[in-house]
Structure formats: C-alpha cells, structure tokens
Structure 1
Amino acid sequence: MSKKKPLILVTNDDGITAPGIRALIEVMNSIGDVYVVAPDAPQSGMGHAITLNDTLYCDSITVAKKEPQIEYSCSGTPVDCVKIAVNEILKRKPDLCVSGINHGSNSSINVIYSGTMSAAVEAGTQGIPSIGFSLLDYSIDADFEASKKFVKKIVKECLKNKLPKGVVLNVNIPKLSAKEIKGIKVCRQADAHWEEKFDKRTNPVGRDYYWLSGEFVNEDKGQDTDEWALANGYVSVVPVQFDLTAHHAIKEINTWDI
C-alpha cells in the first residue's frame, strides 16, 4: 500500500457485509489506503462492550475481489474490532478511523447505545481522529448514494484540519436525495430520551420473556440541535468528547459534607 496516502481504518456495528460499510469502504478507497476490521455479524446496540470471557477470532477475508482494501472479519464487538486492529493487525496507528455507515439514526441520546459510535470513540481514546457515520434509514436496502458525497467531504476536511484533542465526530445523514439535502450543520446533541416499554410474553413452555420497545421523545425545541438539523434536511455533525467528567458540577459537589 502507498506510503503517501492516509491509512484509514474502517469498521461498523452492522457487520462486515452490510451495505452501509460497503458504501463507506468505496468512499475511503478514493481517499487513502484502507484496512477493514469489522464484526462478522450484527452488533447494533452493543455500546462500548468488549469481549473478556470468550475467545476472539479475527480472520482475513475477501468480500469484493476487485476492491483494493484489506479486510478482517472479527467475532467480537465494534470496540473489539478497533482494539485488535490497532494492536495486532495494523503496522502503524491509522491516520483516521471511520465507523458506519450505520443503518439507522445515532443522533441525540442514541449515541450512548451505539456500537457505531463506540468504535469511533474507542479509536479516539487511542489518539486516532475518528468519525461515526449514520443514515436515518434502517432498511437493509437503504440507498447510500447521497451519503457518499457528504462522507467524502467531511473526511477530507477532517484529514486536512485535524480534530481537537479528545473529540470525535458523530455524523447523521437524513433519508433524502443529494439534491434534497440542504447542507451540513455543526450541532449540539438534542436533549431527548426514550420512553421505554417492555412487552411481556410467554413462550410455549410457559416461561415469561420480555421484548423491549419504546417511543423516542424529543422535547428540545432548540434550532441548534442534531434533531432539528435532521428534521429540516441537514446533515448533523456533533463533536463528541469521551471525557465524561461533568466539570461544571465539581464546584457544587465540593460543597457537600463528604
């Protein structure tokens, strides 16, 4: 592979054969030298889970013979994929890690559950500029053509300008054609949540089980949020920090008698 091009690690949480990651790989091949390390099966909603009490497999595979990237299929989580890529597969730290393109939204509170974003965050903790990409279409037949244009633009700007230390990008793309998308907005994460429900059922042998469902509730009326941007035809870009310290609360909690 070329020494002049940036080294790009590609991963996801929908699995290595998902259409979203294939679209992302196509774009990255036009920018740099690409290594793919992705789960061998869907890992959506895994968050920052890692494999501790089971064996971890990572096998070289060929998904598309005509494409130049080098690919590995991993039995672990998205975060496992990043860890094993950086520590075992790549000969040097990549210049960029991109995760996705996820089939479905990772805006607002969804970021904390997302395997897509957790992979990007893991790379970020290792000092690698990282971006998670998601398309607001859960269908396996989702059309990623419009996404490619914006993915390429954001990646090129990230490589050119570098990200602030301790920051990764959470990028969500509306389910619209390229002509319908109005542009890109840098936003804050909307203050929204899930009102969760558990559908209690009984299996044929009489044992109760539960099926998680819920309703997404966004009461944040701000026009500077990712939810507003997406609802109004913009690609949302939210800078995410992985230092979870609530710095603003330190002074107040220091007044407690503890």
Structure 2
Amino acid sequence: MTKRPLILVTNDDGITAPGIRALIDVMKELGEVVVVAPDSPQSGMGHAITIDSMLHLERVYIDDGEQEEYSCSGTPADCVKLAVKEILDRRPDLCVSGINHGSNSSINVIYSGTMSAALEAGIEGIPAIGFSLLDYNYNANFETAKKYVKTIAKNALENGIPDQVVLNVNFPNLPEKDIKGIKVCRQAKANWEEEFDKRQSPQGKDYYWLTGKFVNLDPGEDTDEWALENGYISVVPVQFDLTAHHTISTLNTWKFND
C-alpha cells in the first residue's frame, strides 16, 4: 500500500492561530500531517535559532486531535529542525508554513518567521512553501485562501519544487470573486521607511516603539507587489543562496594583494 505524502506544517503566529488551523485543514486532504509550531507568536523573528536556552516540545491535542501536533518553545526555524531531527520517522514530502496573518511579500521575506521556517526546510532538502494572507487581523477569513493553498500544494507534491528553491505565496485580502488568478512573480524592490517613537516610562526611563511605512520602489508589472495590488495571488521562487553572482567578476577586478 502506497503511503500518503507526509506533510510538515508550521508557522510563526503560534500553534493555535486561525491561519495554521486553516492550513492544517487543507493539508489533511493531501496527506499525512504532522504539526510542529511555536507555543506563542514569533512574528518578525527571521531565521533566529535558539542556542543559549533550553527548548521544550509538548504533544498537544487541538480541534479534532486527528493529526500529530507538537507545541515548541522555540522559533519557527527551531520547529523545523526539531521536527526533522527528533520527531519525524521519515523525511517529509512537503513542508508548509502559515497561513501567516499579514504580508510577507517583497522585502518582508527577510524578516518573516513564516518564510524562515520554509527556508529552513529547504535547507534540509525538503520542498517547502510559505503562505501569507494580507490581513493582520487575528480573526482573518482564510476560506478563500484555502482553495488556492490546496491547488499550489498539490502542484508542488506532483511536480516537485526545484532544488534549493522555496515558494513564497501571498494572498490579497479579497473575496474569491475578485481574485483574478495566480501569478509567478519576482520580488519587488521595496523597503520600510522606519522611525522610533520615543516615550518615557513612569519610572523615567526612555523606551521605543518601532514604527514606519512600507514603500514600493518598483514600477514593474512582474512583481509580487503589482500582482497583489491588482487582484492576483503572488508566487515568488526564493533561493537561500545569497551569493550575488553577478558581482563576482567586478570584485575580481579589485586589487586585494597590492
């Protein structure tokens, strides 16, 4: 008897977040699901890993308890590492992370715990996808996204994902009738214009809140930002080889040995 695909599910919003519960529902239709996710929100953690304190794993039973689930005290990347090294008895056929409450398009991929979990899986040689919905509300409606999550994940299982590539998928916050389809895109050039809101505590100590606005600097119509602004779901292939290959020849003209 052929085994169903093994699918590892994780996120950065915490194991009880509505987004991961929606993702689990979809993945159960496609394979055998094991969940390893943070016990509390880990948004913006990037690819942090825990090296100076203990990590804890606890078997938990949420919703119908049908799938195997573990709550982890660490970061999203920790969750994937522990799943692969300590929990799973075989390599997953797919790792999915999300569905994130909020955008991970463009430069946000650098800061994202959701995408870092997917990238950690990719580093382990596991096909991986990060899913995000452009709605930061805890009670966001994930029903429209679920249909497309299934389509994209099913394609990944059937066709594979190129080696050392992870998919970054973002959904516009629109009703299904307004979604025009799925576009494979490049990452838009954009950044955050940030500042710190300086305040003072009752004890007279200064403290700071990070604030800012997202600025799209890219006029291209082949980017994730354009796709999302125009009613499309964006799919960006992301690589974790950060080498700027196009600059190697230029750097080789530098006189390092003079």
Which category of TM-score, normalised to the shorter sequence, fits these structures?
over 0.9
Paired residue for 1:93?
Answer: 91
* Alignment-derived partner of residue 217 in structure 2: 219
Quick one: distance in 2 between partners of 1:210 and 1:253? 39
SS of match in other structure, 2:182:
strand
CA distance in 2, matches of 1:129, 1:123: 7
Aligned to 1:12: 11
- TM-superposed CA distance for 1:67, in Å, is 4.4
Counterpart residue number, 1:202: 200
- List aligned pairs for 1:100-119, cutoff 5 A: 100-119=98-117
TM-superposed deviation, 1:237 = 0.1
Which amino acid in 2 is paired with 1:150?
Answer: Y
Distance across 1 between alignment mates of 2:65 and 2:105: 31
TM superposition shift of 1:178: 1.5
Alignment partner of 2:118 out of 106, 117, 120: 120
TM-score normalised to structure 2 length: 0.98
Instruction: Please show how residues 16-165 of structure 1 align to structure 2 within 5 Å.
Output: 16-64=15-63, 66-165=64-163
Unaligned stretches of 5+ residues in structure 1: none
Find the counterpart in structure 1 of residue 246 from structure 2. 248
Equivalents in 2 of 1:225, 1:151: separation in Å?
Answer: 20
Cα distance in 2 for residues equivalent to 1:41 and 1:103: 14
Contact 1:29–1:68 (Cα < 8 Å) also in 2: no
Secondary structure of 2:14's aligned partner: coil
Instruction: Give the SS at the match of 2:210.
Output: strand
Partner SS state of residue 176, structure 2: coil
SS at 1:97's partner residue? strand
Task: Return the alpha-carbon distance in structure 2 between the equivalents of residues 131 and 179 of structure 1.
Answer: 25
Residue 221 of structure 2 aligns to a residue in which SS? coil
Count of aligned pairs: 256
Could you give the per-residue CA deviations for residues 1-33 of structure 1, whole angstroms, max 9, x where no partner exists? x85210000000000000000000000000000
Q: Residues 44 and 116 of structure 1 are in contact (CA less than 8 Å); yes or no, is this contact kept in structure 2?
A: yes
Find the counterpart in structure 2 of residue 188 from structure 1: 186
**Matched residue SS, 1:175:** coil
Give the CA deviation at 1:106.
Answer: 0.1
Partners of 1:85 and 1:149 in 2: how far apart? 27
Deviations along 1:24-43, whole A, 9 cap, x unmatched?
Answer: 00000000000000000000
Tell me by how many angstroms 1:176 deviates. Answer: 0.7
Q: C-alpha displacement at 1:215, in angstroms?
A: 0.8
TM-score, normalised via structure 1 length: 0.98
Structure 2 residue runs of 5 or longer lacking an equivalent are none
Cα–Cα, structure 1 residues 143 and 98, in superposed 2: closer, same or farther, change >3 Å? same
Query: Following TM superposition, by how much is the alpha carbon of 1:143 offset from its aligned partner in structure 2, in angstroms?
Result: 0.2
Identity %: 70
Q: Within 2, Cα distance between the matches of 1:3 and 1:190? A: 41
AA at the equivalent of 1:210:
Y
SS in 1 for 2:78: helix
- The alpha-carbon deviation at position 246 of structure 1 amounts to 0.5
SS, match of residue 179 in structure 1: helix
Contact 1:136 1:175 in 2 (8 A): yes
Cα separation, 2, equivalents of 1:219 and 1:49: 28
